[in-house]
Structure 1
């Protein structure tokens, strides 16, 4: 009995420390956001007594976080919808349709996962500027789709590879076109993977700073995360207001994770099957 208990403690102790290290920064940020500037200067680690919500109002109104939040709500859902549409179509084609170059195309998508955005950011910005898409919502949406599409295609292809080919053949024999097979068979069967990948893509786009900072130089077009980075310089002497902005930006991501943590874990492991 001592052996299994000891092994459980050896596993539980590091996991508890990891969970504490992950949760503590969020709790600390929320506590600082509820303090006045004087309270923070006097004691930054003590609990806020009493809690003040003025910093949240300041960050939302004076720091224009409301506008940044709306910008993110415009860009992120459209980007994720395009990623899921194109990624699911490509996943179906690469997993069940045999055509010349399909294997090389899949390997190309896999290789694109290892290319850092910093490598392509200069030519991307130049191409967007020449096309008139710089500092526009469509330009940022296209940049997100280009950056995260290889990841989406890879996971959807890996998932659809596990769907028996006989199902596709039976649908074709019944008279369905390729689009009919995709819409009536592959989309319903791929719903778990689409949900998982959609959540991950949402987190990627929502948390992005570098692409949005490059594509949206105008202050009025900033997304929420780039707006948070600008707060650091604007409220250098008012750390509680900056912490309030960080808390506003983190809450949607935290809620998504709490409600869809199983789907996120499934999405991370969806590509582990042999493709």
Structure 2
């Protein structure tokens, strides 16, 4: 009993340390964003006594974060819609429509999860350049769909595999086509999984820097995370403004985590247990 209690205390201490190590950088950044340049230079670690929005307004307007924010909304929204559409269709087909090569196709999707983006980024950029999709919104959306579709297909296939095949057979006997079964049966049943996977896909796309940096070289089309990276060079002597840009980029991610934390946990564990 004493050993078990000691183990719980050690685990609680480790988790508390991990939580503090995670939260402290965010608190430090928020504190720096509230300071003037002079205050930060004189004492970067002291707590600010006033709440100023000047640095955040400067980063939003003068540093172009507003435009970067809109760019991210466009590409992330488009990519998530296509990922959920193609992922849910493929998940239904691979889980309930047994056809020649379906197992091989599913294994191919799984193999796509283990291919680092660095391996395919040169062929991707060359292909996108050849078809004229570099520095365009559709080009970045297509790149995100190609990168994260295997993950989406895997989770949706795992979820749909737990649905009894009798439901599909009954719908077919009622005269539904396969598309009708997908639209009338599978989509409503799969809404919880679609929401969970959609949140994860949105976070993946929102936090991406490498793909967006390769696909959107011009400053006009930068996404928010690439814009924050560029701020580090432009405002190397103005850390409060740079910290404000980091806060602007982090707030949407934190909001999504707080609102959809249960969905994120469900998506991460999808397919780990049999339904």
Residue of structure 1 equivalent to 2:216? 216
Give 1:5's aligned residue: 5
User: Does residue 184 of structure 1 match 2:184?
Assistant: yes
* Match of residue 48 from structure 1: 48
In the TM superposition, residue 51 of structure 1 has moved relative to its aligned partner by 2.5
Match of 1:163 in 2: 163
The answer for the alignment partner of 1:137 in structure 2 is 137
SS of residue paired to 1:41 = helix
Q: Deviations over 1:135-183 (max 9, x none)?
A: 0000000000000000000110011111111111111111111011101
The equivalent of 1:105 in structure 2 is 105
Moved more, 144-153 or 45-54: 45-54
Residue 249 of structure 1 corresponds to 249
* Offset at residue 188 of structure 1 (A): 1.0
Residue 17 (structure 1) aligns with = 17
Q: Give runs of aligned pairs for residues 84-95 of structure 1, distance below 5 A.
A: 84-95=84-95
Moved more, 51-60 or 135-144: 51-60
- Give the Cα–Cα distance (whole angstroms) in 2 for the partners of residues 182 and 23 of structure 1: 43
Q: Distance in 2 between matches of 1:242 and 1:11?
A: 36
Q: How many residues end up aligned between the 2 structures? A: 275
User: What is the distance in 2 between the residues matched to 1:158 and 1:128?
Assistant: 32
The structural deviation recorded for 1:2 is 4.1
How far the C-alpha of 1:204 sits from its partner, in A, is: 0.3
TM-score (norm 1): 0.97
Is 1:69 the equivalent of 2:93? no
- Aligned-partner Cα distance in 1 for 2:167–2:19: 43
**TM-score of the superposition, structure 2-length normalised?**
0.97
Question: Aligned to 1:115, what secondary structure does the other structure show?
Answer: coil
CA distance in 1, matches of 2:74, 2:261: 24
**What do the CA deviations read for 1:175-195 (whole angstroms, capped 9, x no partner)?**
111011101111111111111
1-structure distance, mates of 2:13, 2:173: 57
CA distance in 1, matches of 2:138, 2:274: 35
Q: Does 1:200 align with 2:200?
A: yes
Instruction: For residue 8 of structure 1, report the CA deviation from its aligned partner.
Output: 2.4
CA distance in structure 2 between the partners assigned to 1:271 and 1:198 by the alignment: 16
SS at match of 1:49: coil
Q: Which deviates more, 26-35 or 4-13?
A: 4-13
Give yes or no for contact 1:159–1:273 (8 Å, CA) kept in 2. no
Deviations 1:5-62 (A, max 9, x none): 3332122111111111111111111001111111111111111122221110110011
Cα separation, 2, equivalents of 1:263 and 1:203? 12
| 1:146-157 superposed matches below 5 A | 146-157=146-157
2:233 aligns to what SS in structure 1?
helix
Could you tell me how far apart the structure 1 residues matched to 2:137 and 2:223 are? 10
Kindly report the root-mean-square deviation, in angstroms, between the aligned alpha carbons of the 2 structures.
1.2
Q: Which moved more, 1:43-52 or 1:215-224?
A: 43-52
Query: Shift of the alpha carbon at 1:3?
Result: 4.7
